[in-house]
Structure 1
Amino acid sequence: MFEAAELGRKISREEFDAMAPVLRTELLDLQQRLREADFPVIIVFGGVDGAGKNETANLLNEWMDPRWIVTRAYGRPSDEEADRPEYWRYWRDLPPKGKIGMFLSSWYHRPLLDRVHGVISVPEMDEMLERIVHFEKALADEGALIIKFWMHLSEKAQKKRLKKLEDDPLTAWQVTEVDWQHFKMYDKFVGTAERLIRHTSKGHAQWHLVEGADPRYRSAVVLNTLKEAILKHFDEREAVKKVAAELKKPAKSKKIEKPKALASQPSILSSLDMTQTVEGEEYNRQIQEQRGRLSQLYRKAKERGVSTVLVFEGWDAAGKGGTIRRMTNALNARDYQVIPIAAPTEEERAQHYLWRFWRHLSRAGRVTIFDRSWYGRVLVERVEGFCTEEAWRRAYGEINDFEEQIVEAGHVLCKFWLHITAEEQLARFNQRSEIEYKKWKLTDEDWRNREKWDVYEAAVNDMVEKTSTGLAPWTLVEANSKSLARVKVLRTVCDSLEAALRKKRG
């Protein structure tokens, strides 16, 4: 693979100086056009030490307008980053639509180094690379352009390059003892890199091998590749828009034979016993018992750095807010945050839909409570047509991967669907309309959503069926009885915390 890149190619100063003004103007024009685009550009730099990754990133910032470029390089995770799932810092730094993001020592850095140093096995490395593929695929499916450059040097060229940098007082700081240690492991790095590139060079995010010995040749290849990739992506996005516009056109009417009605099948929600309740003194006893239990458990979790993520979904007027309030009474206000999810802001619409949820994941030992969540993609966005069918169907896998990362990072994740019957919802709507301090909760949208009850119920059943996994199961809560719902939610959170603490202790 790398032998093909070792061609000893060079570009003279005269050739480069002749092409530079035109190429720079074209890139600046593209950058201005990109500012109005519906996609970001993500550039990943990888390669051997001394092959010109930093210099190339600096050149792009010099040639283009740096105000619209995000440049990030990663070292060891900070305490803040180590408290969260590994990919939190990458999601946090993603460029919004219309901007360019350049990443050095990125999500490829750890699997490469860990494998070279024998920290992980080949299957473990492949598993890490598969997560990278899923990550990049999720970004590309939402429209992002991902361009990856692997800067390569032969062993001889790398030694020469490191020596040259080291001998110059202005660049000596760039060469460290670690660089020379890596040089002694050149063959291991190359072999591991070949596996990494083969595994992760996909149609949506291809690697481009760049010979890094000659700075002018390296720069010309990267700059021209970037220009052509952005131009091609603009064309592809326009084609996608045209297809979408055609699909929205009403189909020509034709006689269709009405299919025979199928016998109605019991759904996941319809199997719940909605007559259950707990009232009076028994409710007071149980709620106090579970709140006391939660207060003790969350303090232990905080001491041991165990974070908790709670997700609340359910019908309008199902009692999510009241249940959350009963729970937070048992917590210290310094240690939890409730994230109410509404329609995305302008800033959030400029990012992948999961970005706004990644950014809210808290530090170790804290509790994050989502009042509605990332499941909006497969519920309201699906039902109301705010995203394509392809997008919401794809979201099941993206959500499962997101939640898997949360759990693998050691967080406790509990997901609750608070279920009420249509009759109970109507009664609560009517009650809200008569109580002054509750009137604000009842909106025209609530009544419109009620008219689509059957469609939403089908979406909820699909959601539970496709995203209730072994690592992140759904808890369905019979919420016709508010008191029963509150006790059940508290008990479930306590049981989950106890299990996590036992595992941590073990």
Structure 2
Amino acid sequence: MTASDLTDEAARDEALREEALRARIHQEMADSLHEELELELDDVRLDELDHDGAVGLPSIDRKFYFRELLRLQGELVKLQDWVQHEKKKVVVLFEGRDSAGKGGVIKRITQRLNPRVCRIAALPAPNERERTQWYFQRYVSHLPAGGEIVLFDRSWYNRAGVEKVMGFCTDEQYEEFFNSVPEFERMLIRSGTILLKYWFSITDEEQAFRFSMRIRDPLKQWKLSPMDVEARTRWELYTKAKETMLERTHLADSPWWIVDAVDKKRARLNCISHLLSQIPYQQVAHQPVVLPPRVRNPDYHRGPIPPEMYVPGQY
């Protein structure tokens, strides 16, 4: 074999390696996108359980939805970088009736972000000790430090909604909440916290449809608690409580934003787009990352791993 032949063979080998690497990169990117596809297929599966579902506006085009969602998620990554770089504190409250779609939006926001930077606060019912604390005390411990984003899946506004309607607070506690919450939120804002408040709005018919889907879907039944079922009988009481809450806490420095959430996909895009528009973030310049060469120690020999330690390969 001549020197020319060896050169040609080396070039072919290099081309094959580059092709294999491109295929691997493509597969990794596709796997990343499949996470969103799985979430989307889960929605489709839920909707297809009942073909007589709620009738409304035609659903948004799926290709457009995915393009926009991925674009917005890219902007969320830029927002995350800016929050870290500038040591900003961001709090976003997500409120609304049960099954209004808050969780779906929160999933799409956090899907491609660092959980150490952007985290979810979804507090359970207060325990006996917490019920004797200052009402806002247990929420304060979940507030962000500099360089963090916290998404509250329900928040201190529980008192103005669930607790009022279900009789979990006294009239005096209810009134004290409205007296305290404006100053509490102003304190957060004065401390440098960016505060956004979203209410997800759905119709009576849409909630009934979504509840019926959860009842019929074994993978979703855990989402339907006894309190959720009870809430259906108190729709008008929840409406009145919501109206009072919005009237008394829609403040100039911490306003409410209403998300029309009957169409889940539109609600997600609209909410994320609006959230991004409310924060004056900028793209942060980063130094290029250079992967250093692997250091090899000739004296190191990897020991064998016993076969019984491996997880059985069933798939």
CA contact (8 A) 2:110 2:119 kept: no
Residues 78-125 of structure 1, C-alpha deviation per residue, up to 9 Å, x if partnerless? xxxxxxxxxxxxxxxxxxxxxxxxxxxxxxxxxxxxxxxxxxxxxxxx
Measure the CA separation in 1 of the matches of 2:66 and 2:146.
32
What does residue 209 of structure 2 align with? 427
Select which of 250, 256, 259 maps to 1:477: 259
Select which of 92, 104, 108 maps to 1:310: 92
TM superposition shift of 1:341: 2.3
Measure the CA separation in 2 of the matches of 1:406 and 1:331.
24
Measure the CA separation in 2 of the matches of 1:391 and 1:278.
43
1:340 aligns with 2:122: yes
- Structure 1: give runs of 5+ residues left out of the alignment: 1-273
TM superposition shift of 1:313: 0.8
Say which SS state the counterpart of residue 317 (structure 1) adopts: coil
What does residue 443 of structure 1 align with? 225
What does residue 289 of structure 1 align with? 71
Measure the CA separation in 1 of the matches of 2:247 and 2:226.
30
TM superposition shift of 1:443: 2.3
What does residue 49 of structure 2 align with? none
User: Superposition RMSD on alpha carbons, in Å?
Assistant: 1.8
Aligned residues: 228
- 1:184-199 to structure 2, matched below 5 A, reads none
1:321 aligns with 2:103: yes
TM-score, normalised on structure 2? 0.69
Measure the CA separation in 1 of the matches of 2:134 and 2:176.
13
Residues 45-96 of structure 1, C-alpha deviation per residue, up to 9 Å, x if partnerless? xxxxxxxxxxxxxxxxxxxxxxxxxxxxxxxxxxxxxxxxxxxxxxxxxxxx
**AA aligned opposite 2:110:** T
What does residue 133 of structure 2 align with? 351
- 1:187-336 to structure 2, matched below 5 A, reads 275=57, 278-336=60-118
What does residue 379 of structure 1 align with? 161
TM superposition shift of 1:497: 1.9
Measure the CA separation in 2 of the matches of 1:345 and 1:391.
17
1:460 aligns with 2:253: no
Larger radius of gyration: 1
What does residue 147 of structure 2 align with? 365
Say which SS state the counterpart of residue 158 (structure 2) adopts: helix
Change in CA separation of 1:316 and 1:415 when aligned onto 2, cut-off 3 Å = same
TM-score, normalised on structure 1? 0.43
CA contact (8 A) 1:317 1:429 kept: yes
Q: What is the aligned-residue identity percentage? A: 35
TM superposition shift of 1:275: 4.9
Say which SS state the counterpart of residue 262 (structure 2) adopts: coil
**AA aligned opposite 1:443:** S
CA contact (8 A) 1:298 1:497 kept: no
TM superposition shift of 1:321: 1.2
Structure 1: which 4+ aligned runs deviate by more than 6 Å? none
TM superposition shift of 1:479: 0.6
TM superposition shift of 1:381: 1.4
CA contact (8 A) 1:416 1:474 kept: yes
Measure the CA separation in 2 of the matches of 1:444 and 1:324.
23
TM superposition shift of 1:317: 0.7
Relative contact order (alpha carbons < 8 A, sep ≥ 6): 1 or 2 greater?
A: 2
CA contact (8 A) 1:312 1:415 kept: yes
Change in CA separation of 1:346 and 1:451 when aligned onto 2, cut-off 3 Å = same
- Structure 2: give runs of 5+ residues left out of the alignment: 1-55, 284-315
Measure the CA separation in 2 of the matches of 1:278 and 1:415.
25
**AA aligned opposite 1:308:** V
